[in-house]
Amino acid sequence: MRRIVLRETPLDVIFGLIFMVLAVLLWIGADHIEGNNHRLVGPAGFPRGVALLLGFSSLLMTARGALALCSPSRGDEIGIDRPVAVLLTMGLVVSYPVLITTFGYYVTTGPWLAALLFVSGNRKILPIIGCSIGFLIFTKLVFQVVIGIPLP
Protein backbone atom coordinates (compact mmCIF):
# COMPACT_ATOMS: atom_id res chain seq x y z
CA MET A 1 0.00 0.00 0.00
CA ARG A 2 1.79 3.09 -1.26
CA ARG A 3 -0.64 5.97 -0.77
CA ILE A 4 -3.98 6.59 0.92
CA VAL A 5 -6.16 9.60 0.07
CA LEU A 6 -8.79 10.73 2.59
CA ARG A 7 -11.10 13.70 2.97
CA GLU A 8 -9.98 16.36 5.46
CA THR A 9 -13.35 17.16 7.05
CA PRO A 10 -14.28 13.79 8.59
CA LEU A 11 -10.69 13.41 9.79
CA ASP A 12 -10.95 16.74 11.62
CA VAL A 13 -14.03 15.53 13.47
CA ILE A 14 -12.66 12.07 14.26
CA PHE A 15 -9.24 13.21 15.45
CA GLY A 16 -10.68 16.24 17.22
CA LEU A 17 -12.79 13.87 19.32
CA ILE A 18 -9.83 11.56 19.91
CA PHE A 19 -7.66 14.49 21.05
CA MET A 20 -10.43 15.67 23.40
CA VAL A 21 -10.46 12.24 25.04
CA LEU A 22 -6.67 12.36 25.32
CA ALA A 23 -6.89 15.81 26.92
CA VAL A 24 -9.31 14.47 29.54
CA LEU A 25 -7.04 11.48 30.19
CA LEU A 26 -4.04 13.79 30.54
CA TRP A 27 -5.94 15.93 33.05
CA ILE A 28 -6.93 12.83 35.03
CA GLY A 29 -3.41 11.40 34.76
CA ALA A 30 -2.01 14.53 36.40
CA ASP A 31 -3.70 13.36 39.62
CA HIS A 32 -1.06 10.65 39.91
CA ILE A 33 1.85 13.08 40.12
CA GLU A 34 3.45 13.19 43.56
CA GLY A 35 2.54 16.24 45.59
CA ASN A 36 -0.43 17.09 43.40
CA ASN A 37 -2.61 19.68 45.06
CA HIS A 38 -5.48 19.51 42.50
CA ARG A 39 -4.76 23.04 41.24
CA LEU A 40 -3.02 24.38 38.17
CA VAL A 41 -0.08 25.55 40.27
CA GLY A 42 2.28 22.78 41.38
CA PRO A 43 3.76 19.59 39.94
CA ALA A 44 0.61 18.77 37.99
CA GLY A 45 0.45 22.28 36.50
CA PHE A 46 2.33 21.52 33.29
CA PRO A 47 0.33 18.42 32.24
CA ARG A 48 -2.91 20.18 33.20
CA GLY A 49 -1.93 23.24 31.14
CA VAL A 50 -1.15 20.98 28.18
CA ALA A 51 -4.50 19.21 28.72
CA LEU A 52 -6.34 22.54 28.65
CA LEU A 53 -4.57 23.66 25.46
CA LEU A 54 -5.10 20.28 23.80
CA GLY A 55 -8.75 20.20 24.85
CA PHE A 56 -9.45 23.71 23.58
CA SER A 57 -7.66 23.25 20.26
CA SER A 58 -9.29 19.86 19.66
CA LEU A 59 -12.69 21.40 20.42
CA LEU A 60 -12.01 24.03 17.75
CA MET A 61 -10.82 21.34 15.34
CA THR A 62 -13.96 19.26 15.91
CA ALA A 63 -16.27 22.26 15.53
CA ARG A 64 -14.51 23.35 12.32
CA GLY A 65 -14.83 19.83 10.91
CA ALA A 66 -18.47 19.52 11.91
CA LEU A 67 -19.31 22.84 10.24
CA ALA A 68 -17.40 21.84 7.12
CA LEU A 69 -19.34 18.55 6.95
CA CYS A 70 -22.43 20.66 6.22
CA SER A 71 -20.77 22.34 3.24
CA PRO A 72 -21.04 20.77 -0.21
CA SER A 73 -17.27 20.54 -0.80
CA ARG A 74 -16.50 18.25 2.20
CA GLY A 75 -12.96 19.63 2.43
CA ASP A 76 -9.71 18.99 0.67
CA GLU A 77 -8.13 15.61 0.13
CA ILE A 78 -5.20 14.54 2.31
CA GLY A 79 -2.68 12.09 0.90
CA ILE A 80 -0.64 9.79 3.13
CA ASP A 81 2.39 8.58 1.19
CA ARG A 82 3.65 5.95 3.67
CA PRO A 83 0.61 4.73 5.62
CA VAL A 84 2.37 1.72 7.16
CA ALA A 85 5.16 3.95 8.51
CA VAL A 86 2.55 6.35 9.91
CA LEU A 87 0.72 3.52 11.69
CA LEU A 88 3.97 2.06 13.05
CA THR A 89 5.01 5.49 14.33
CA MET A 90 1.66 5.92 16.03
CA GLY A 91 2.09 2.51 17.65
CA LEU A 92 5.56 3.45 18.87
CA VAL A 93 4.35 6.73 20.34
CA VAL A 94 1.40 5.08 22.10
CA SER A 95 3.55 2.25 23.48
CA TYR A 96 6.33 4.49 24.82
CA PRO A 97 4.65 5.48 28.13
CA VAL A 98 3.85 1.84 28.88
CA LEU A 99 7.37 0.71 28.04
CA ILE A 100 9.04 3.47 30.05
CA THR A 101 6.86 2.67 33.07
CA THR A 102 7.63 -1.03 32.79
CA PHE A 103 11.34 -1.01 31.92
CA GLY A 104 12.58 2.46 32.88
CA TYR A 105 13.84 5.41 30.86
CA TYR A 106 17.27 4.23 29.73
CA VAL A 107 16.34 0.65 28.84
CA THR A 108 13.31 1.84 26.86
CA THR A 109 14.44 5.06 25.19
CA GLY A 110 17.52 3.80 23.35
CA PRO A 111 15.85 0.94 21.47
CA TRP A 112 12.62 2.93 21.08
CA LEU A 113 14.43 5.85 19.48
CA ALA A 114 16.32 3.48 17.18
CA ALA A 115 13.02 1.91 16.09
CA LEU A 116 11.47 5.36 15.55
CA LEU A 117 14.40 6.49 13.42
CA PHE A 118 14.21 3.29 11.36
CA VAL A 119 10.44 3.59 10.81
CA SER A 120 10.83 7.25 9.82
CA GLY A 121 13.11 6.24 6.97
CA ASN A 122 16.65 6.29 8.36
CA ARG A 123 18.29 3.05 7.22
CA LYS A 124 21.91 3.74 8.22
CA ILE A 125 22.70 1.73 11.34
CA LEU A 126 25.63 3.80 12.65
CA PRO A 127 23.74 7.13 12.69
CA ILE A 128 20.77 5.38 14.33
CA ILE A 129 22.98 3.96 17.08
CA GLY A 130 24.84 7.27 17.42
CA CYS A 131 21.63 9.29 17.76
CA SER A 132 20.17 6.86 20.29
CA ILE A 133 23.28 6.78 22.49
CA GLY A 134 23.88 10.51 22.05
CA PHE A 135 20.34 11.32 23.11
CA LEU A 136 20.65 9.14 26.21
CA ILE A 137 23.93 10.82 27.17
CA PHE A 138 22.46 14.27 26.52
CA THR A 139 19.38 13.65 28.67
CA LYS A 140 21.46 12.14 31.47
CA LEU A 141 23.79 15.14 31.49
CA VAL A 142 21.02 17.72 31.31
CA PHE A 143 18.46 16.19 33.64
CA GLN A 144 20.47 14.21 36.16
CA VAL A 145 23.79 16.04 36.25
CA VAL A 146 22.90 19.69 35.54
CA ILE A 147 19.31 19.98 36.79
CA GLY A 148 19.39 17.12 39.31
CA ILE A 149 16.17 15.46 38.18
CA PRO A 150 16.40 11.66 38.10
CA LEU A 151 14.80 9.98 35.11
CA PRO A 152 12.54 6.97 35.75
Task: Please say which residue of 81, 106, 130 terminates a domain.
Answer: 81
Give dist(CA 87, CA 50) in Å, integer: 24
Nearest to 115 by CA among 133, 86, 88, 142: 88
Task: Please say which residue of 81, 109, 131 terminates a domain.
Answer: 81
Q: Is residue 106 domain-shared with residue 64, that is, in the same domain?
A: no
- 60-83, pLDDT tens digit by residue? 999 999 998 888 776 788 888 888
Q: Is residue 54 domain-shared with residue 104, that is, in the same domain?
A: no
Q: Which is more confidently placed, 47 or 60? A: 60
Mean pLDDT of the chain: 88
pLDDT, average across residues 22-41: 77
The pLDDT confidence band at residue 43, using thresholds 50, 70 and 90, is confident
Q: Is residue 6 domain-shared with residue 74, that is, in the same domain?
A: yes
pLDDT, residue 40, reads 58
The pLDDT confidence band at residue 39, using thresholds 50, 70 and 90, is low
Q: Is residue 70 domain-shared with residue 142, that is, in the same domain?
A: no
In the chain, what's the furthest Cα-to-Cα distance? 58
Q: Is residue 75 domain-shared with residue 113, that is, in the same domain?
A: no
Separation in Å, CA 67 to CA 10, 15, 33, 71, 102: 10, 15, 38, 7, 42
Instruction: Indicate the number of domains in the chain.
Output: 2
Burial (CB count within 10 angstroms: exposed 0-12, middle 13-18, buried 19+), residue 150: exposed
Task: Please say which residue of 34, 60, 81 terminates a domain.
Answer: 81
Name the percent of the chain lying above pLDDT 90. Answer: 56
- 88-132, pLDDT tens digit by residue? 999 999 999 899 989 999 999 999 999 999 999 999 999 999 999
Would you say residue 38 has pLDDT above 90? Answer: no
**pTM value surpassing 0.85:** no
**HSE-up of residue 46 (Cα within 13 Å, Cβ side):** 2
